[in-house]
Structure 1
Amino acid sequence: MSEGVWTAPGRVNLIGEHTDYNDGLVMPFALPLSIEVSADRGTPGRLRLSSANVPGQSVELRVEDLAPGRGPGGWSDYPAGVVWALREAGHPVTGADLHFESTLPTGAGLSSSAALEVATALALGDLFALDLDRTELALLCRRAENVYAGAPTGIMDQMASACCTDGHALLLDTRDLSCRQIPLDLTAHDLALLVIDTRVTHAHSQGEYGERRAGCEAAARLLGIPALRDLAPERLPAALERLPPALGPLVRHVVTENVRVERAADLLLTGAPEELGPILTEGHASLRDDFRVSCPELDLVVEAALAAGALGARMTGGGFGGSAIALVPGPRVRAVGDAVESAFARASYRPPEVRDAVAASGARRLS
């Protein structure tokens, strides 16, 4: 019998893509879409995992046997990785029965893996009285994803799921993990933010994402700086002359993307969210042309949304598929959604899923 129910949300990143593993700035917000876990401490020494979204595929593991590279793979590596990370950090997690139910689509760039990790860690933290603060919890979840699941992601997704608050975006400095809650009330300005799932799935543990991260780290070494966060915008032209052609565009994206996050935060704090549009579109061009993590479906969303009256649009998440966002005046919401769906039909792509995104609460206990 369950000892409680916990939930952790997915996220949309408003701006600040591929900056988190470069010690940069990001600004995500939590979605109402989430993963719930019903949990109890179960049989000591045993970890039992099941999901309503993957019926008939429950997993049972010996807690003592948990180690990177030894799991069965797939979705269960994320909660199993959290148990491993907690135990490796000295927390006395002896076992658990965890049953998950999700309204988050997987592979849509909305951070379902981080939500799975954070829900698990929050539940285990309460069940075993671990007294984890939200930052510590997010760091342990990132370790589970990086080391156990083998996905070289940064800290943004876990911090967003753990720390976001209702009605706000989270301005996060990924170097020191300092946070500021930025009001994000688009409806007060007769605006909507559409999240458009291209239904092209991606997997961060695959090679392309890791190659981009490795390229950024190599560029920082060549420039003699700890991370690309340390390259001031005014020094960018000189830095690009020192780098091989393959690395320069990666650096240009990261440096200019950090500036875009600062500009976006200033606009929200001064009550001018309608001016965010060009920043979003600039960000997409940078991700498409410099970082090369877009795909034809994401580019088509942006093109069709802008042509139908969106103020700005860009891919969100790690790329290579997943979702895009579009900032839309209230009266144009239906027209933009219809335009994207029609463009996909003409291109013979799978129909996209269009949602209106609102800033929701972060992870919490439900019962």
Structure 2
Amino acid sequence: MTDLAARLSAGFAAAFDGSPDGVVRAPGRVNIIGEHTDYNDGFVLPCAIPVETRIAWRARPDTTVRVVAIEFANEQDEFDVAQPIEHAPDGGWRDYVRAMIATLVKEGRTLRGADLAIVGDIPRGAGLSSSASLEVAVGHAMLAVLGETPDATKIAVQAQTAENDFVGMKCGVMDQLASAASVADAALLIDCRSLDTRAIPIPAGTAIVIIHSGVVRGLVEGHYNRRRAECEEAARILGVPKLRDATLDMIAAAGLTGDVLARARHVVTEDDRVIAAAEALASDDLRTMGRLMADSHASMRDDFQVTVPKVDELAATAHDLIATLCDGQGGARMTGGGFGGAVVALMPESGVEAVTAGIRERYRTPAGEAPEIMVARAVAGAGNVD
């Protein structure tokens, strides 16, 4: 993270002169299993990963917020927290910053002005939650200006509200809660109804490998919100608050058909897979974990229909290599909301070199290049940087 720290320090000084009062960080996340279950009040099993957003902050004596985004050619934004916060004329990253601050204000916080410099190394469009990381980091920074440390669950819910109501992306709470509350060296089993979390230790010697398909996602412009609406329609027909409350027997008895049937079947079976996966991971049973990951990917491909051919190809390639080179100890699946992005794989550390070499040999992105591959570990959630 030395490069992030150096770029952040230089970027802050160039934009605002002087030094910040403090620095906060919020990691990205990879979801090991449990896709499109969070907004159905179900279960998910993500972990935070070492790529992150950092914000250097300095309190101001007024109510003006000035922001510089170092990753976006030092683009800037400025607005007043004492006035109604509207969408930025140019949208983009500015709206995520404004969304989080507007949500804090709407919930009754009296905020102070601040100078904020933002830097990050989360690949955008890879399904690793760069937007949630930014929202959580902004919340930490604005509350740090007030001398406060946020409650992890509360800041995650506020970040979700920001994305739902201001940005217009009807996501669940998984990404934000994983960024805010994850535990080092563990996956985080999240009950998305109660928001209870339980750390599931990742067995020593197990590698988390993230492979970018090269297909960049765009969920707001894509079909994510439509999938959510289809899930809500299925729950309405079944007479349950959310699909978390449904069963396969209920689905069969209700006579659901077409897309609504398929969406409901994915969510119900995916919830079951998450619980089974948490048990398998806690028992160091990578063989069962691999089977569950393969079943999850097939369900997202066939029932939820959020994969794309290149992602299917990459997941199959990774899974086959793990089966051959790691004796089936592990597996692979698409991770994130879909329509592109990355594949996540679990495998013994001893197999990483051979498996990743095989992926680079066998898979090419749409641009004809070898894929970007990250070998990650599970890190702690958001907080201050010393």
Q: What's the TM-score bracket when you normalise by the shorter of the two chains?
A: over 0.9
The reply on whether 1:290 has 2:308 as its aligned counterpart is no
In the alignment, which residue of structure 2 is the partner of 1:13? 31
The reply on whether 1:249 has 2:249 as its aligned counterpart is no
- TM-score scaled to structure 1, two decimals? 0.93
* The 10-residue stretch of structure 1 (205-214 or 18-27) with the greater mean CA deviation from structure 2: 205-214
- Provide the secondary structure at the position in 2 that maps to 1:18: coil
- TM-score scaled to structure 2, two decimals? 0.89
What is the aligned-residue identity percentage?
Answer: 39
In the alignment, which residue of structure 1 is the partner of 2:9? none
Counterpart-to-counterpart distance in 1, 2:20 and 2:232: 44
In the alignment, which residue of structure 1 is the partner of 2:21? 3
In the alignment, which residue of structure 2 is the partner of 1:269? 282
- Provide the secondary structure at the position in 2 that maps to 1:260: helix
1:1-367 superposed matches below 5 A: 1-42=19-60, 44-67=62-85, 69=87, 72-130=90-148, 132-187=150-205, 191-239=206-254, 241=255, 243-310=256-323, 311-345=330-364, 349-367=368-386
In the alignment, which residue of structure 1 is the partner of 2:7? none
Cα offsets for 1:84-134 (capped at 9, x unmatched): 000110111132211111111111100010111111111212221456311
Counterpart-to-counterpart distance in 1, 2:106 and 2:89: 16
Q: For structure 1, which runs of at least 5 residues remain unmatched after alignment? A: none
User: CA shift at 1:305, angstroms?
Assistant: 1.2
| Contact kept? 1:300, 1:343, Cα under 8 Å | no
User: CA shift at 1:203, angstroms?
Assistant: 2.2
User: CA shift at 1:217, angstroms?
Assistant: 0.6
Relative distance call for 1:68 and 1:227 in structure 2 (3 A) is farther
User: CA shift at 1:186, angstroms?
Assistant: 4.3
Cα offsets for 1:262-288 (capped at 9, x unmatched): 101111223323420000010000001
Counterpart-to-counterpart distance in 2, 1:302 and 1:155: 25
User: CA shift at 1:343, angstroms?
Assistant: 2.8
| Contact kept? 1:67, 1:148, Cα under 8 Å | no
Counterpart-to-counterpart distance in 2, 1:89 and 1:71: 24
- How many residues are treated as equivalent by the alignment? 362
- Provide the secondary structure at the position in 1 that maps to 2:297: helix
| Contact kept? 2:24, 2:140, Cα under 8 Å | yes
For the aligned residue pairs, the C-alpha RMSD in angstroms reads: 1.8
| Contact kept? 2:81, 2:105, Cα under 8 Å | no
Amino acid at match of 1:260: R
* The 10-residue stretch of structure 1 (339-348 or 130-139) with the greater mean CA deviation from structure 2: 339-348
Cα offsets for 1:231-276 (capped at 9, x unmatched): 034434324x2x2312100000000000000101111223323420
Counterpart-to-counterpart distance in 1, 2:151 and 2:208: 31
User: CA shift at 1:348, angstroms?
Assistant: 5.7
